[in-house]
Structure 1
């Protein structure tokens, strides 16, 4: 693979209204990875489902800048209560993305505004 082919630009946000698929693709208490091709760049994010609520974050640890999961869709602690960076063990609240343990306590994941709408997960406008 050439350097040009491997050097795809990353972007850190998406526009509102992108249909990510049925809510049922994410089991309750689990997370799902999304990679979106937007123009010449890619966005990497993940969504956690808690009941009918969804919480989205950019897939990038504030400690080292790496994607959080080393295995596809493995973003949560075994009990599903916290988001976990599999590289250095940092743990984050699902609802706010605040680091509550590990090397970056007090830091936050970058939110990716998403919502459950009519049984589907869609990107949303950032809060005002």
Structure 2
């Protein structure tokens, strides 16, 4: 186990989830919006978020690559005001929704950690 993985587990955080976890109906996320998810995985918690674009969903671990902080300071507020990009509310980094690539701010060139999710029959599942 890596030092980072051991530190995460000891702090009660994990960075991935098992496949086939039912996160609920897609209608819980308005089109063009995002939603936070916290899942209990054994004795630890996973923090992630999902962005909806029509029938497409994009999931990411809720951790900015700049300093490891959660991206949103307010629940579900992951997007820029126009809804076009993901934004870190702490230091202003902005990321593409589709790839999680940082295109501006202190971590330009870095990426968000993907959280594999998919939409099936009107529901969102981990992949």
Fold shared, TM-score > 0.5 on shorter chain = yes
Aligned ranges for residues 17-36 of structure 1 at < 5 Å?
17-36=20-39
Cα RMSD of the aligned pairs, angstroms, is 0.8
Whether 2:76 is the aligned partner of 1:73: answer yes
The equivalent residue for 2:53 is 50
CA deviation vs aligned residue, 1:7-55 (integer Å, no higher than 9, x gap):
7510000011000000000000000000000110000000000000000
Please give the alpha-carbon distance, in whole angstroms, between the structure 1 residues aligned to 2:27 and 2:49. 15
Please give the alpha-carbon distance, in whole angstroms, between the structure 2 residues aligned to 1:78 and 1:55. 18
Whether 2:36 is the aligned partner of 1:37: answer no
Q: Runs in 1 of length 4+ with deviation above 3 angstroms?
A: none
CA deviation vs aligned residue, 1:37-93 (integer Å, no higher than 9, x gap):
011000000000000000000000000100000000000001110000000000000
Runs of at least 5 residues in structure 1 that lack an aligned partner in the other structure: 1-6
Normalising to structure 2: TM-score of the pair? 0.91
The equivalent residue for 2:96 is 93
Whether 2:86 is the aligned partner of 1:104: answer no
Aligned ranges for residues 107-118 of structure 1 at < 5 Å?
107-118=110-121
CA contact (8 A) 1:53 1:116 kept: yes
Number of residues paired by the alignment? Answer: 118
Runs of at least 5 residues in structure 2 that lack an aligned partner in the other structure: 1-9
